[in-house]
Structure 1
Amino acid sequence: MRVKGTRTGAIVVSAVMGTVVLSGCGGDGESEAKGSDASQSASGSDVAREQGTTKVRAAYDKTAEAESARMAIRMKLSAEGKTITSDGKGAIDLAEGDSVMKVTAQGESIEQRVVDQVLYQKSPDQKAPGGKSWIKIDLKKVAAQQGLSNQQIGDPAQTAAYSKAITDKDVKKVGTEKIDGVNTTHYKVTVDVSKLPGGDRMSQQLGPTLPMQVWLDDEGRLRQQQIDMTLEAPASASAKPDNSASSDQLKMSTVMQFSDFGTEVDAEAPPAEQVTDMTGQALKDGNKQG
């Protein structure tokens, strides 16, 4: 895996994985009911754990009820001894997944929009290929190449598959904390990667489980979520000697915060004549990394 030239790629990963976490915290009435029935015969600690699981599973639905929010993303990406950091601030449509953000990466500012699962980026310091102002990358195609489903990048309503990957033993209450001045409850969550759509392929890169942390406010909405993951090169790269395995690891830490629920989100695609489509290049880079 390469860090070279992955400023845009890193942000793409952040955009894709951010929605994975949101969807992963969703739930349905059936799973909540089962948790309630089981708690009647469980011990006190089991009851607390199951109640936490129910709250975490329902977190996305609670958050989505607000329809929109301001969002901040902090990401750190490390590979081959190099590190890329980025900070983004903007707003997101929690029902559709569209967003507008300003992202600062490696000292450069980028205007970013996600509209209908297509990522648009504009750098004030340089033109896109062809002299255009914007580049675009079709996240659906990138996700398909990575073995992810549309649910994972732009269909927040489809949460059942993710809630089934979280069992009662996978949720642990850490305590209470203030996030941006708001009282929250902090949970550690473990997701069974094999139970996610495309889980077999994802397991090759992420391992059997995906650790997450979520902070829920008193209304059960997400105020902060964090993922710390290590991606491994696919098994097909086994032609390399064993002692080179560390060079095939990419470590990523992503923290997302939500505030000002109900804020207005004005996410529109730039005029077509101002956009260069870089999806093909992104897919080509993805094949090289794979």
Structure 2
Amino acid sequence: MKASIPVAGLGALLLAAGAVGCGAEQSPEMTPAAAVAKAAKNTDDITSVRYRLSGTSPESGKVKGDASMRLKPTIAMSMKMTGPVDGAAETVEIRLVDKAMYLGGGAEMAKEMDGKTWLKFDLSGSDAGKELDRSGSASQAEQNPAAESTFLTSAKDVKKVGTEKVEGVETTHYTGTFTLADLRASLKGKNASIRENREKSIKQYEKMGVEKFTMDTWIDGDDHTKQFRMKGAADKGPLDMTITFLDYNKPVNVTAPPAKDVADLADLFKELDAS
């Protein structure tokens, strides 16, 4: 194996991955805050989601991607993302399955990895997995966009913008602002799972240096979030990310890449130490 390991650029794309129905309009008697809260409550029963993301990340610049994610009984995810790596647009595939993360860099990675097109990070306690987790990339890749869609409930100024179609679906558009302090305050009284998910997000946004957010949410007639957009000013540039949900609760099957195409980062570290 060559000593050069193309991890840094791919890690930046990972940081961008997190930072994600049809029917009639909601009842006119429902206040904006109540409509947003109802949609947030409906995320509790989501078992899987397919979504599209696009926008600007402070670490990665302009990115876009498509993903399928299983939330229950265990987390699994498959995503293809395009963003700048070393000044050029690159597409990578990310898979999370069986407590491991796989990064597929295609031909460019194969040049550096003796023909291997996938890089494996063991997330079950290995040194390589711990290093990835310290960078925030693992937590960001595992981030549940359905959970982040609930953040508008933290805002005290939620208002209705109007009705709009998103992906051909009639939705009601709401907007509001909140801070990380508001997000923390919203954890009171929540169950352990919700607190854990929101704490992960809060820590990631702290690392970015984002303190205040503007959020827009589009809610369909079945009281599900169809789309949300989060904007904020970070230390290293603007955050402006839109997540559009394409479907909920459909089967999501993610498999590990063929072993012959995978280089394990733990093994590469051992080789580098021995050289």
Q: If the TM-score is normalised by the length of the shorter chain, which range does it land in? A: 0.5 to 0.7
Q: Which amino acid aligns with 1:210?
A: F
Higher relative contact order (CA 8 A, sep 6+): 2
Distance 1:53 1:255, change over 3 A: closer
Q: Pick which of 216-225 and 89-98 moved more.
A: 89-98
Q: CA deviation at 1:228?
A: 2.0
Q: Pick which of 182-191 and 124-133 moved more.
A: 124-133
Counterpart for residue 145 of structure 1: 134
Counterpart for residue 241 of structure 2: 254
Counterpart for residue 133 of structure 1: 117
1:48 equivalent among 31, 43, 57 = 31
Q: Which segments of 5 or more consecutive residues in structure 1 lack a partner in the other structure?
A: 19-43, 233-248, 282-290
What SS class does the counterpart of residue 100 from structure 1 fall into?
strand
Q: TM-score, normalised by structure 1?
A: 0.60
Q: CA deviation at 1:77?
A: 3.4
Counterpart for residue 192 of structure 1: 179
Q: CA deviation at 1:170?
A: 4.4
Distance 1:12 1:118, change over 3 A: farther
- Provide the rounded CA distance (Å) in 2 between the counterparts of 1:188 and 1:117: 36
Counterpart for residue 206 of structure 1: 209
Q: CA deviation at 1:169?
A: 1.2
What SS class does the counterpart of residue 132 from structure 1 fall into?
coil
Distance 1:272 1:220, change over 3 A: same
More helix per residue: 1
Q: TM-score, normalised by structure 2?
A: 0.63
- Provide the rounded CA distance (Å) in 1 between the counterparts of 2:204 and 2:82: 31
Give the count of matched residue pairs: 227
Q: Which amino acid aligns with 2:117?
A: S
Cα RMSD, aligned residues only: 4.2
Q: CA deviation at 1:181?
A: 0.0
Counterpart for residue 265 of structure 1: 252
**Percentage of pairs with the same residue:** 25
Distance 1:267 1:227, change over 3 A: same
- The alignment status of 1:183 with 2:151, answered yes or no, reads no
- The alignment status of 1:229 with 2:232, answered yes or no, reads yes
Counterpart for residue 41 of structure 2: 58
Distance 1:258 1:166, change over 3 A: closer
- The alignment status of 1:109 with 2:126, answered yes or no, reads no
1:92 equivalent among 69, 86, 94 = 69
Summarize deviations over 1:120-160 as a string: whole Å, max 9, x none. Answer: 2213322153542202346774685367996x76486xx7x
Distance 1:181 1:191, change over 3 A: same
Q: CA deviation at 1:109?
A: 3.1
Q: Which segments of 5 or more consecutive residues in structure 2 lack a partner in the other structure?
A: 1-6, 21-27, 124-128, 185-197, 269-275
